[in-house]
Amino acid sequence: MNTRRVSRDGTALLRRLREPAPPRPEQCGLCGRDLPPGHRHLVDVEDRALACSCTACGLLFEQPGAAGGRYRTVPDRVLTDPDGTVDERAWSVLGVPVGTVFLFRNAVLDRLLAFYPGPAGATESEVDQEAWQRALGANRLAAALEPDVEALLLRRTEGRVSCFLVPIDVCYELVGRLRRCWHGFDGGAEAQAELDAFFGQLTVRARPLPTAVTA
């Protein structure tokens, strides 16, 4: 049998080939620049899609009407209203069938939409304008909501409703996290623990809604 010694360099090369390649960094959806963790996102309002963004592109599309208004930078604010509450009546008025929902206004379609996280992602439902007014017409967070790029994220637990104004990408992060751990009809204990941790992080991050605020 013929044998051949492999040099140290060759051994190192073989070891690298056996090891999984390191993940490539995400890239800006517009300029292609590599992005660090925690980067910003843009909303493509025509395609209803999120795109990763570098700082420069994010700043560019913060300007109203940039690129004809097709792209909008997702804000990073998380707000609560210590003086405002959402009661359980809103659940029946809005027709929410589950314990967690996020709601936002799509400016292109001129519709109010609700999304319910679940094992297959997020289920979409249109919200009647009259129902929105009855349930959330007096809610200051709802009044401060920016179309397309922000959402109201609500969770009902044991007779209490938590309500946050959040960036829309936060909602899709939650959808992805729940999808990975969902079991059974209601998600199971692991999904409930994920929800507890997620809303706990939002509570720490959130700031009170200013007394006077405009969208």
Q: Are residues 125 and 63 in the same domain?
A: no
Task: Examine residue 175 and state whether it is found in any structural domain, yes or no.
Answer: yes
Q: Are residues 90 and 177 in the same domain?
A: yes
Cα–Cα distance list, 149 to 31, 59, 60, 85, 144 (Å): 21, 15, 15, 23, 12
Q: Are residues 24 and 52 in the same domain?
A: yes
Predicted pLDDT at 194:
93
- pLDDT tens sequence across 149-182: 999 999 998 878 899 999 999 999 999 999 889 8
* Contact in structure between 41 and 74 (CB atoms under 8 Å): yes
Task: Examine residue 213 and state whether it is found in any structural domain, yes or no.
Answer: no
The fraction of the chain above a pLDDT of 90, given in percent, is 42
Containing structural domain, residue 62: 1-74
Give me the amino acid identity at 117: P
Q: Are residues 103 and 195 in the same domain?
A: yes
For residue 77, report the phi and psi dihedrals to the nearest 5 degrees: -80, 145
Q: Are residues 86 and 169 in the same domain?
A: yes
Predicted pLDDT at 211:
76
Task: Examine residue 215 and state whether it is found in any structural domain, yes or no.
Answer: no
Cα–Cα distance list, 48 to 15, 33, 43, 140, 144 (Å): 43, 22, 7, 26, 21
Q: Are residues 63 and 101 in the same domain?
A: no
Q: Are residues 124 and 165 in the same domain?
A: yes
Domain count, the chain: 2
